[in-house]
A = this chain, B = another copy of it.
Amino acid sequence: MKNINIKDLARELNLSVGTISKAFHDSYEISEDTKNRVLETARRLNYVPNPYASSLRGRRSKNIAVVIPEVADSFFSLAINGIESVAKEKGYHVLICLTHESFENEKTILQEFQGGRVDGVLMSVSRETSESAHILNLMGNGVPLVFFDRVLDEIDTAKITTDDFESGYKATEHLIQQGCDNIGFLGISECLSISNRRLEGYQKALNDYHVRYDSQQIINCTNDAVQNDILIRELLQGPNRPNGIVATVEKLTTPVYRASEALGLNIPADLKFVCFSNLETASILNPSLTTITQPAFEMGKIAATLLFKSLEKNDFNLSKESQVVPSRFIMRGSTI
């Protein structure tokens, strides 16, 4: 009934607990013979060490945290897969913590980690995050942290991002080449690095191609789906209706399609649409959706790999390890 512990094993084998522990860690102090007996008995009795007891005495909890705004998003769920693939290999477990795009939640979560719940953190900041004190605090307490996708520039650690500027540029350039001369931009936050870099790429493209830039066409979407619907409808109903849209997050896909349909706008004839998205269904939408597709799995994998390097050797300097992984531009029916 009750879980067996190292003491039970010791009693069973007529050895001291210290010896058992050392046998498990393949200590040179213990004879091969004893090691085998210990291992065999452990297997037989189904002994599994308590990870948290181990974590107390210097060793780690073998838990890492993934702090993200939401999980019902293809980018993040694929990134989790990437992270999990390396965590599993390292014998680590993954705590998923959702900020729901709230800075307050994010602070609370990181605060909790001060207590040693996790050995390291992988993080994509919330749309509201512009301060960095909570993160610096955690890192100051010796918890390594690696950013992926949504980063805070001012913090000195590894950041795994994609080429947001170039992607924003490419998306916009494509729309221009397809004949759009009035292009709306749907961002998610004014403080978010990725949103801003994509916006800069958009602006540069407009400028390079001498297309009119109108700040009215830059919409900052909220975290509330209903509110976003209203914003998008207003944009598409307004006197200055765009004939092209660049959207920076996957969850804006459905609202744009729905609003277009409701307003009798045809995609792509009346409105061309390109979205940053990892949706598997992009190719079977009506019309199929032109996307900037981020290397989500790979980004998660790289970020996790770096985190573990830093967990394995303390002198590993995360701040020199940032990487930019390029996204893929996939042309489909929504812009042709």
Asked if A80 and B71 sit within 8 Å, CB to CB, the answer is yes
Q: How far is A113 from B1 in the complex, measured between Cα atoms in Å?
A: 15
How far, in whole Å, are A56 and B253 apart by their CA atoms in the complex?
Answer: 48
The answer to whether A1 and B258 touch across the interface, beta carbons within 8 angstroms, is no
Residues of B contacting A288 in the complex (Cβ-Cβ under 8 angstroms): 286
Q: Chain A interface: which size bin?
A: 35 or more
Is A46 an interface residue when CB atoms closer than 8 A count as contact?
yes
Give the distance in Å from the alpha carbon of A297 to the alpha carbon of B98 in the complex.
Answer: 15
Shortest CB distance A126–B (Å): 15
Whole-angstrom distance between the alpha carbons of A116 and B49 in the complex? 8
Interface residues of A in 45-103 (CB under 8 A from B): 46, 48-53, 55-56, 61, 63, 70-74, 77-78, 80-81, 84, 93-98
Cα A261 to Cα B284 with chains together (Å): 9
Which candidate, A137-145, A176-184, A214-222, A236-244, is the interface stretch facing chain B? A137-145
B61 touches A71 (CB 8 A): no
Bound complex: CA of A39 vs CA of B334, how far in Å?
A: 58
**A267 to B: closest C-beta gap in Å:** 10
Residue of B nearest to A96 (CB): B96
- Contacts A49-B115, A95-B63 given: A284-B286 contact, CB under 8 Å? yes
Tell me how far the C-beta of A147 lies from the nearest C-beta in chain B, rounded to whole angstroms.
20
Q: Is A117 an interface residue (CB 8 A)?
A: yes
Q: Is A254 an interface residue (CB 8 A)?
A: yes
A71-B80, A71-B81, A95-B94 given; A116·B50 CB < 8 A: yes
For residue A112, CB closer than 8 A to chain B, the reply is yes
| CB–CB A77/B84 < 8 A | no
Contact (Cβ within 8 A) A96 B115? no
Do the beta carbons of A284 and B96 come within 8 Å of each other? Answer: no
* Residue A231 lies at the interface, judged by CB distance under 8 Å to chain B: no
The answer to the question of A326 belonging to the interface, with a C-beta cut-off of 8 Å to chain B, is no
Counting CB contacts under 8 A, is A33 at the interface?
no
Flag if A137 contacts B94 (CB, 8 Å): no
- The residues of B that contact A224 with a CB separation of less than 8 Å are none
Q: Which residues of B contact A142 (CB under 8 A)?
A: 1-3
Whether the Cβ atoms of A285 and B286 lie closer than 8 Å is yes
Quick check: is A283 within 8 A (CB to CB) of the other chain?
yes
Chain B residues with CB below 8 A from A280, complex form: 72, 251, 254
What is the bound-complex CA distance between A77 and B137, given in angstroms? Answer: 30
Contact with B along A236-264 (1 / 0, CB 8 A): 00000000000000010110011001000
List, in ascending order, chain B residues with CB within 8 A of A63's CB. Answer: 63, 95
Q: A74-B72, A95-B95 are in contact. Are A48 and B112 (CB under 8 A)?
A: yes
Which residues from chain A sit less than 8 Å from chain B, CB to CB? 1-3, 46, 48-53, 55-56, 61, 63, 70-74, 77-78, 80-81, 84, 93-98, 111-117, 137, 140-142, 251, 253-254, 257-258, 261, 279-281, 283-288
